[in-house]
Structures are given as C-alpha cells and as structure tokens.
Structure 1
Amino acid sequence: MEKFSFLFHFALFLFLLCGVSFALDSINPSQSISDGRTLVSKEGIFEFGFFTPGNSTNHYLGIWYKKIPVQTVVWVANRCNPINDSSGMLTINSAGNLVLSNRNTSTVVWSTSLSTQPQKPILELLDSGNLVVRDEEDKNSETYLWQSFDYPCDTLLSGMKLGWDLKKGLNWQLSAWRNWDDPCPANFTYGVDLEAKLHTCPQIVIRKANAKFYRTGPWNGLTFSGAPELKPNQVFDYGFIFNDDEVYYTYKLKDNSVISILVLNQTSSLRYRLTWVDSEQKWNTYSSAPRDNCDFYGKCGANGNCVISGNPICQCLDGFRPKSQEKWNLTDWSDGCERINPLSCLEKDKDEFAKFTGLKLPDTTYFWVNKSMNLKECKAKCLSNCSCTAYTNSDVRGQGSGCAMWFGDLIDIRYFQSDGQELFVRVSRSELGKGLIFTQINGRADKARVVIVTVVAVLGGVSGMLLLGYFIFRRRRLLEETVSQNSDEAEDEVEDKDLELPLYNLSDMAAATKNFSDDNKIGEGGFGPVYKGMLKDGQEIAVKRLSFKSDQGANEFKTEVKLISKLQHRNLVRLLGCCIEGKEKMLVYEYLPNRSLDYFIFDQKHGKLLEWRKRFNIIVGIARGLLYLHQDSRLRIIHRDLKASNILLNGEMNPKISDFGLARIFGGDQMEDQTKRVIGTYGYIAPEYAVGGLFSTKSDVFSFGVLVLEIVSGRKSSSFHLKNHGGTLVGYAWNLLKEGSSFELVDGYLRATSHLNRKEVLRCIHIGLLCVQQSPADRPDMSSVILMLGSAAEMPQPEQPGYFMKMDSPSRYDHLPAMPESSSTNEITISQLEPR
C-alpha cells in the first residue's frame, strides 16, 4: 500500500512538473504554453493554444470552440506573424506581459503591453471566450489588466463590444481574414463610424480599405434603419451604448447553451450571423450583409433611392432627376441625381417636404440631432436653414421623438417593402405642386402623378364623393396602364432609334483584318468567323462577321447590337461598333488577348496556365456578370447561350460574357417565357427549355452550373457522354457527391498542385450541382450563388440534376444532337426544335 501511495504521488508530481495544461484554464509566470498544449475554459466551451488554419502549415496562437468539430477560430494573437514550425511558446514575463516567441530563432513574435504591473499575474481563459490577464491578488476577479475582447479579430462573441473606448483610445472593430488559410487582416473592417456625431445616431460601417462599402444606417433607438432584420428575438438581446467614454454595439445570448456569433469574412457576403445547430452538426446562417445590390454603399449616387424590386433598381427621389441621363441609361448611377428646380429659401416661397416611408436613412456624415425636439419643431428648424435637405425623428420608440437633420446631398438610401423609416425630403414648392405620390404596382415602387385639387372647408358631401371617385378612377387607370405597358416594355427598349454605336465601313473592316485573312482568324462561332484587327488609330479589335449562309443571324445580329450597346459591366464584353453594308453584317468588339475560356480548360497544355485561384476568380466573375444581366441592368436579360466558348478572357484573365445573339429581354416583372424555337448549345441547355421551350433566369443558372463543373473538372459537358458510356458530366458529379468523393471530379493537374484550396473547390462543385437541379425552382438565383461562393456557411443538399440519365438510352432527349468531340470553338447549337 505504501508503495502504491508513493507511485501515485510521484506520478502526480511528474504531471505537474511537466506543465501539461490541457485540463487547465489558467497559467502563471512559472508555466508556459507550447505547441500541443492548451488551456480549456472551465465549462469546456473554448480552447486556447496553437493551431494551423485550412491548408496552411503555419502555426498561430488562438482561441477556438472546443466541442465543435468544424474548426471555428474566434481570435488570433499573431495574425500576421505566423511561426512556420512547432517551436512557438507563450510565457508571462516579469512585468506580467504575455510574450509569444519562436524558440528556434529566439525572436519575439507577439506580446502585450500592460500599463500596470501586477503583483501575481495570471492568464485565464473564460467561458465567454475572453482571454484575460489579471492580478491574482486583486479580489475583484473582473478587473482585467489586459483582455482579448479589446482586440477583436473577425468574430464578435456574446458580450464583446463593437465600437470605441474613447477614454483609452481603443477601436473595437472586426477585420476579415485575408483568406481561409491566412488570418492576417485583409481589406475589410466592420465598426462604428466616427465621421458622424458620436453621441447622436451612430451607425456601423463595413469599409474596404478606407472607403465605405456597406452601412447599417443610423441607430434609431430600436434598431438600425438599414438593418430592419435586427429585431427582438429568442436567441439574443442587443443594444447600442453611447456616453462620454464609450460608443458601442453589443449583444448577449439569452441561453448560454446556444452558440451564435457575428463574423466578418473576406467574401461577397461580408458580415453574417452564424448559429451552431448541434443536432445537425453544422453552422446555419441567419442574416448576412450586404444582402443584395441595394446594400452596397451609395449604389444609386447622391439623392438616389435603391429599390431592389425596381427595374432599374435605382430611382431619383421626388423633385430630382439624373445628373447624367446618358450614364443613367447605361445603368451607371454613380453621378446620382440633381434637383429639377432649385430651393427657394425665401419666406414668401417657402419650400416644402416630400414624405417617404420604408427607407434606410441617408448617411450621417453631414448630420445634426436634437433629442428634445418634436417632429413639428424639427420641420421648422430645417426650413429655417437653407442647407437643410431632409429631416425625421431621431428616435422611433413610442410615438417617435428627437430631431435628425441632413445637410447637402442624401447618400445611400434604399427602400424596404416593410420596415424602414420615414424621411421628409426638402423640395421646391413648384415640384410638390405636381403631386408626387408613391404607389406599389406588382411589387415595384413606381411614381404616379395626379392632379391635386384643393378642397375648401365648405365643400359639400356630394362634391366630396365625386372628388373621391375621381381619385379612385385615376389611380385604377394608372394601375391598368402600368400593367399593360409591362408586356411592351422590352420591345420599346430596343427600338432602332436607340442604336447609338459607331458605324464602320466595310473597307475599314477589311483593312483592319488584312482583308479577313485566315492568319487573323481567331475563332468561329455559330454565326460566323471572328477576326483580330487593328483600326487606323492603333486600337486592337475583334470583328465578328455574320455568315452569309446563316438563315437565323439577321434578327440575332440586331438583338446583339441593341442589347450590348446598353450594357456596361466589367464582366461583359464591350461592343465598340458595327458594320452594316450590303449583305455584310459585323460586330466590332474590344479585343481580348487571351481568347475564350474553352481554349484553356479543355486543353491539357493550356489548362496548366489556369491554376485554381484564377479559375475561382473566373467563376466569380461570370456569376457577377450574370447577376448584372438578371437583376442589376436596366433590362432583365436572359443570355440563353452561356458556355465556355462565350466567356472571353482579358490580359489579366478576367472573364467577360460575350455573344448575346440569342439573348431575350424581359420587361417589368416578367420571370419566364416559352418558345417553340429552342436555340442554344448542347450540354448547357436546361431540361425545361430543351423539352418544353420554357426559359427564365434559372435557365442561365443551369448553364452556369454546367460551366462551373467544366471549369473544376477540365472536362467538356457536351462530349463527356461519348467517353463515359452515355453518362453525363452532371450525373458523374452527382454520383461522386453522393459517394463523398467529389474531389475525384477535379482536374488532375489541379489535384497535383500544392496550393489547391480543397474546401473552395468542393464548395464550387456543390454550388454547380445546386445550379443544375432538375427543377428550376430548386436552383438558386445568381445573387444567392455569389453569396455562397464567398461564404463558409452550410449549403443545402442538391436534388437530382437534370440530364441525370444515360444519354445512350432511349428517352425524350434523344432528339438533341451530339457534339463532335474535337470542336472547341465551333459548337453545335440546337435550333427550331418542336417540343414533344
């Protein structure tokens, strides 16, 4: 028994001597943390130690959730100073400071700087996720000499503060990781905006470098006017605190067993809230920002209002007009809007105010607040100052109180179908007399002008009823006229008078292309050959020459000219002009030196020039171009022939969607159409279009999904079945996903590279399969695709894709022509097929 007791105490002594810390939540100066040893908070919620993120081999010191199998790091000490091996060690020096050093090089990697030296310093990891240094002699256990909560990374935990400690000069802001493998801060930060008056109506801003990228709108006592989704809920309480010492937003979880965090990410979906679902062992995303194109800062320029359901999405406020109508027509809204009539400011011609509801309030850079004024006093105050352009309540609790006034241009306004706030915008009395009224027609905000008739107090009941009837009649007629015009909108947009492109002579085109020499031929599409050329001024061009033999090209040529002349986006090819002379019809484009995407991804030699990062950027660029066509352009465009050969690449390998000959325009709120003339390219056409002639934005989404799978795999969808016993590329990808072997789909060259982001590749395959689902309703829209491309959040599982069956078996799809395997630029299109 004595021997056993001796061995037990000796083992315990060795345990303590070795400093094993996986069960400890704190250390003192006599202890240290080296690679492989960790601190664990008392309840086992958080763990602190060394880790390697993603595919990186670098070592960082940080905090993560211990019980969550998906590595979720919430704080990193040495964000931009990684240790390239396991030689890192954290100690507490004689001054009580934390010191992270590299034992191999004897260099300090990271350290703290305490203003007060503790007698007995201790480092402790709390169950809140806060890593703190305190004095063990201090009886107040919550008096911290240093805490990680004062130096946020990309994650806001319950109880953390987002804002400013004005007394200590601390800026509590989130900063995104550079990428999944590198926690060093990137371009994006998320914090309280100090350009506005601190103690009035603070707002939170995402910045890209120093420029505003997204804004929540000012705090109104209940929520942020631009984030109406932030409401009282069952998960957390929230609030905004501002006093002489601090200005910050914070939230507190109602149930400590719930895990919910706010994260800033270096993606298109920058800020999002995640909640861990233990039963499903995954993170669920409950809100994100920017949520759509109207959330991007200043989308519609000065005095513009962004209406996401509108077409176009940007509209001028009442009393304003586009500053540059030409740019506005090209969906370039950056110049914003200017007043139609100047303000008077004279007592005899006092200006008035147009009332708007459901708005995200303008930027508060030039802003004034008085908490004691009511709305009537606020209006009088604004009228008395010629520089005041708008006003509203600063606090919406109860009946509303306080006065908020804006000066100068009104920036970053958007409309919400529900929620939002009132805003009273100053306009000339002459404009208000026109009777500007907002109505909702088919979910879109439209402006209607009606005649305002002054009703005097002595007006009789019968006259009043007649007047009321007149207004009802006028409004009904307005609704009927607007709805009836929607179906004609698309055709009106492409009348011949709208053509404003340079016209080139045939002789100029012949000279530019060396008389259409074969040496200058760079490709051939469904409508004819494409030549490289050079104009007299030295500008390089690409000339698409319509084939004389084409019996379908004239209308498509006209469509492409009219469409592309109106479209301006970095991921769409730019049309410079056209040539129409005799039977010759040509389109003159900007010249893109790197040809088309199929030249690279379907060729083993050229494919090696496209490493994964370039391929991923191409996928994102194509998605952004499609989003512009489907949602952000002045017209809603369905491309109908998206494929690898129609994606051109510029000198930096940035993608540009081309060839709009088959595109269709949708007007108003039209979402789909049907045709008996099915046109497109085999391998990319959505099943509902090939069989029933139905096409919509979801048809393009299907083509995009196929394209994503081709970019990842390096295999051509249209010829895949010839090599694989009738199976399709999407079917092959689907089977691999079900087997958990999706990585086998990846191009062999990419799989052999050392810097491949495996998680990103698998995410793209998953997104591709979501896009090619059999039912159009199941497919995501392009805004959701872009969010998924940039987010680490859990995605839904895809349903069975279209064309899943083997193509060599008898089926209703047998009438689709096969694609010659050798072709890369002259792909066969499907045309004039009658649905069975």
Structure 2
Amino acid sequence: MEAFTHLFVCSFFFSLLRTSISQDSTITPNQSIRDGGTLVSADGSFQLGFFSPGNSKTRYVGIWYMISSETVVWVANRNAPLNDQSGVLKVTDDGFLVLLNSTNSIVWSSNTSRTAENPVAQLLDTGNLVVKDRIDDDPEKFLWQSFDYPCDTLLPKMKLGWNLVTGLDRFVSSWKSTEDPAQGEYSMRIDPRGLPQVVLMKRDSILARLGSWNGLHFTGYSGLRQNPIYNYEFVLNEKEVYFEYKLPDTSVFVRSMVNPSGVPQRFIWMDRTHSWEPIITAQLDQCAIYAFCGSYASCDINNSPVCSCLEGFLSKSPKDGDPVDRSDGCVRMTPLECNDRHKFLKRTGVKLPDTSSSWYNKSMTLEECEGICLKNCSCTAYASLDVRGGGSGCVLWFGRLVDISELAEGGQDLYIRMAISEPGRPEKKRHFSKKKLVAIIVGSTLLVVGMTIVGLVSYIWKKKLKNQEMTKRSQMKDNNNESEKEDMELPIFDMVAIANATDNFSNNNKLGEGGFGPVYKGILPEGRNIAVKRLSKNSGQGLNEFKNEVNLIAKLQHRNLVKLLGSCIQENENMLIYEYMPNKSLDSFIFDKAKSKLLDWHKRINIIRGVAKGLLYLHEDSRLKIIHRDLKASNILLDNNMNPKISDFGLARSFEEDQIDSKTNRIIGTYGYMSPEYAAHGQYSIKSDVFSFGVLALEIVSGKKNRGFCHSDHHLSLTGHAWKLWIEDRPMELIEDNLVADLCTLSNVLRHIHVGLLCVQQRPKNRPNMSSVVQMLSNESLLPKPKQPGFFTDSLEADSSSTKHGTCSANEITITLLEAR
C-alpha cells in the first residue's frame, strides 16, 4: 500500500509539473532559438535545445526527455556539429527549418516539397518536431517532421519502415559513440524486398534478422506481446510498410534504441529510482547472427555443435568435430528435377528463412500455397503467411533457404520441397483393434480395385491423347499438308542441312541458351549466316510454344522484329532458323562495363525508339494484334548497325481487334519485367508490354538491371530507385556515367527517363499505349506527371539463382508460375 501511495504521489507531482510549464512549444519565422534557449512540448514531456554529449565540446540541436535531460532521443545536425555556442535555429518564410552558424551559413536544414502561408515549427507531446501551417494540425499535411528521420531511438507512434509512394525509408541508426551522435555503422530497418522483414544491419550487411511479420509477432522474435502498457501494429499495404508501437497510458515512458555497439534495447522510466530500466536487451548469440550456419541448415543454440543440415541435406565439406561447414552450408542429397513429383518435409517450431527473395499472397490457403510451389520448379519451400488467422496466407521461397533457427516458443511450420525418393521421418508404429483391422483390409481391397479401374481408364485416355499428339506431329512434318503450309507459311529445313551448317551443333558455334533451349550459329551452303534455336528436351517450353512462335512470327514483317527464316521438325527435333544477329543481344552491351561504352546516347535513343516502334507494330499495325509477354534486354537482338530487333515470340499471344485484355492461370515471363497485374493475377494486355518497355528504357539509360539492383542507401528495385530520384528532383543521378558527359543531349535523356516512368506506373490505365510512347519520344510536347511505379520494392521478385545473399545479380530466365488466387 505504501509503494502504491508513493507511485500515486510521484505521478500526481509529475502531472502538476507538466501543467506548470509555460515555455512555448512553437517558433514562427520572426522568432528563433539561440544556444541556451529551448522549446518545450505542451504537456512538458519533451524539450528541444542545444547540447554537448558527454565530455564533447561540439554543439548539437536535439530533443530529450524533461525527466532525463541526458537522454537525447533525436539530433538534427548529427553529422554536422557546431564548434561553438553561436548556433541559431529558425523557420524560414518558405517553411524550412534551418540551423545557422556564427557566419549565418546553413549547417543543417529540413526538406520539404510544399510551402505554407503561415509556417511554424512545433514540438509535439510525442517528441515529434514538425513544420506545419499554423492553423492546420492534420499530420498528413505536415511540411516536415522529425519522426520521418529517426536517429538512434524509436519513440512511441514513430514509424519504422517505408512510405512506398515517396520512397521514404524510416530507420533507426546508432550513434558512432556515446559522445558522437553521428550516424554509426549499425541500423535497424525494414527490408521491403519480398515479404518485408526487420533486420539489424552493420553497414551494408545484415547482422541479425528479427524476421517477417506473421500476424502476431516477428518470425525470429516471439517475445513481442500486447499488454495494457505497450501495444503495437505492423502495417503492410500498397502505400506503406511499417512497424509502430504505442503507449495507452501517457504517464508511462518507454523508448527503444540501437546503442553504439549495435545492440537493440528497450527501456522504461522508473519514477521510484529516477532511472531507465532495461526491459529488453537483445543477446546476439551464434544463432542470432545472420546465416551463421549457411544455406539449408538450421541453428539450435541448445545443441553442440549448434549447426545441423536439414533432413535430406548434407554438408558441402564437413569439418572435424563440426558436421556443417558454415561457409558453404548444405546441399541436397537428391537433386530436384523440374516436375511435380515432389513432397514437402514439415519442419516445426522454426524461425522462417530469409524472405527477401520470397513471394507472398495474403488471401491464399495453405493447400493452394502448396499447389503453386509444386507448379514452379524454382520454389524450394512454403509456409503460412499469417498464423493469427489459423494458417492463412502464403509465402513461397525461391532458391536457397538461409538463416533458419530452432525456437523454444513462437516458431512456425516450414514446408521444404524434397524429391519424392528422399526418405522422410520414420513414422511411429500403430496398433489397431480387430474391427479397425477388418475395416482397413476391406477399405484397402476397394481402394486397389478402384485404382485398377482408374488406372485402366487413365491408360486408355493417355493412349488416345498420345495417338492424337502423334497425329498432330505427323501433320506438322507432312509438307504435303496444304492447311499446315497455310498456317506456317515458312520453308522447312532438312535436319541434315542444319547439322552440317552448325558443325553438328558444336559447342564452338553455341551463341547462348534461353528458356527454349540452346542457340547455335550456322552457315548455309550459299554462305548465309543463320541462328538456330533448338528446343531442349528439358525445356520448360514445349511444342505449343514452338508452334506459337512459328505461327505468329511467320505473319509478322517489320524492321524491328527478328526475321524467322524457317523451321525444322524432324527426328524428334524442333528447331527455329532465324537471321543471324552479329552483335547478339542488348543485355550483353548495357550490363557490361566495357562494352557499354560502345553505346553512346545516339545509339541508345535508336534502340529505345526502335523497340517502341516494333511494339507499336505488334499492338496496332500488324495483321494480328500481338502481346509479346516476355520483352526484356536479352530478347532484343542487335544487327550490324546496332539496330534493335525484338525476338523470342514463344510466349506471345494474339488478340482480336476489339479485345482489351485476357487472363491466364499459367503465368509465364521474367521477373523484373512482368507488370504487377500479370504477375499477381495473370491478367495481361498491351499495357503489360508497355510496363516491360518502361523497365527496359530505364535499364538502357542507367546501364543497371531492374532485377537484382543494389544501392547502398536503400533496397529498392531500379524502377523504385528511378522514382525516388525523380520525386527528389535528382533524375540525372540515374544516368550511366558514360552518358553524363554528353551535356548537349541531357534534356533528351531526362525525357526518356520521364517516358520510362510513365510506362511502369502501377495501374495499367495510367500507362500510355505504344503509339503515345512513340510520339512522346520523338517530339517535345509536355508530358504528364508519372505516378508511383509497380513493384516499387520488387516484392514479387524470386531469385532462382544460387548466388549468396548480398550479391547484386539476377538470373533472368523465363519462368512459369501458376496464378496466385
């Protein structure tokens, strides 16, 4: 009772202290704060002023708690200290908050893209320093706020995460030391790639990972609990992704921070001791270190050694006394083949793997999730997205599984893809009663009879289908079939002639390989160079794509489309014969540092406009209305004069004249170039190609790949980076260094960036059609303002390569994915 009385008296005394404070919480353009002056929030919780940390003599503008003046929660000029006490903080008439030194030079300034008639700076009761219009308290209309630029402390109601519309990244970063508030090498932030997750970074590398949100807590940290003092939410939508916590009781003070040693901590103020007591101090043990055990391995801090390979996996190179070589991790005992004859091993109670290369859907069931994973050869695992909903939602992993840990509580179920021949966990022996045994025998007998009947019907049906397929193939081979000639309208090459032309498909003549199969250079007897695309037996594409390409491209004639010379269908071989492009594909130039110098801006203009004209022909001017569906740099070939020619029509689709869009359950294309509506819902139209063209245009200007793009300041895709630079009025930074010197064409380059951003907008209706694109690229008319691009953070990206986390590479292979419903 005495302790309760003491707490009540302290709280009552502190509330009186708050109401007795009369210092102003705002400054106007005709006012200023000099060193020694302060602002105090209306309720007396926070104070703003000048300070020197520890024994340092340098001066900073900061915000601290009134109850603890040494607890600085935000610093304005953390990277630009003052050397004396002559600093002045003021608000300009335009609504900028500026810090001036003794020579009236600006040391630090806020930034804003809007102005206010009567701007004021105000320190709110939350500790948020804002610049706003005096009469408008709507947070959405603040010109600027300190909560958008955290330092080492995350306060209640402060967002940790991204504004996906503006590209603003709100993250917490440590001080360099206790006496230097400059940005240190540790930061806590949300990685928005794939399924967003919270990570602790050391410079540009992930040090530890709290994991992604599962509806209750982060998958790598189950200690987060709602309670009467502390509650929180995680928001993930098209506009924002962020974590935020709140304190219902305003008399309680809680703060979270990352200290200079990189340790995340949370404190609560104790009136009794007049000190901050730690609630949580994260312990970075071995299993907390990111990817400590390598790929396909699990870490258990209660075991010795802590690392062990997942079931069905072996260490690449085991060391003495340690079954897992942590530098390499583990590999499969039985490699996966590209078919649906797989099973899933259920791993319970684990921290889910790194989700930066994952794909997710909020409304899908776990059964649908398994079905999608089975249909995609690159999918290696799946799990429930939201355990709060009893296992709803879907997360798919592509490529390696990294950073899995065993959790004592709060872990989730992970379903790992295994070969059907891989032995699973032994099942416990079951004991049955006589009645159950009879039921099992009878049921088994009926099951065998049923399966026999089904098998017989299936055999007859498959045989019928096989005969139909053989008939179709025979018809394709029959040069005397007039209807087939009419359909293909192309000469048929002899198998022997093609083998002779390519030196029997010698590796010396191999030009490359794509989703269809290898491509070889050949020379016909009359001396003509050709390119032979040979359908691989292991290709994900097949006879349908082969016939589709033959039938479509045979009817198309345009200087910016590759010319198909003929085909060869003989001896179980399916080959397409094209005109030979000596400069190969566009990606071999723009993504190569040495060869990219050969592409000046004039050549790049010619390529961008040539591709645009080729697409315009496909969409509007050809006999058929064609949607390409796989436009990318590797499918743009270059002739002797570097003129572009669109190639690879295996995935293309023809439309009726008045048809607007279509939908498919079989999503085919290349991540990084797919439009959002196609990748997420299987819906495609001419605007899908427009999106791919916009990505390609930005790649040509920047010399960077959209997929696998890396930047030290953020985790955006190339389109997201371009948008960020555009809204910050820095689009010139996107231009490849080789082009910057060509100042006479700078406005032209910016115009092409502008058009590229118009093409990659989120909604199809906002994107221009190709006729408008061609006009915008060739004249100086006023262009509309672009809106936020689709896949701003590349959330549907899936890495099918085996590259390690942190590298900036992407395997641009054509993939097939069942529609996410």
User: Structure 2-normalised TM-score?
Assistant: 0.49
User: Structure 1-normalised TM-score?
Assistant: 0.48
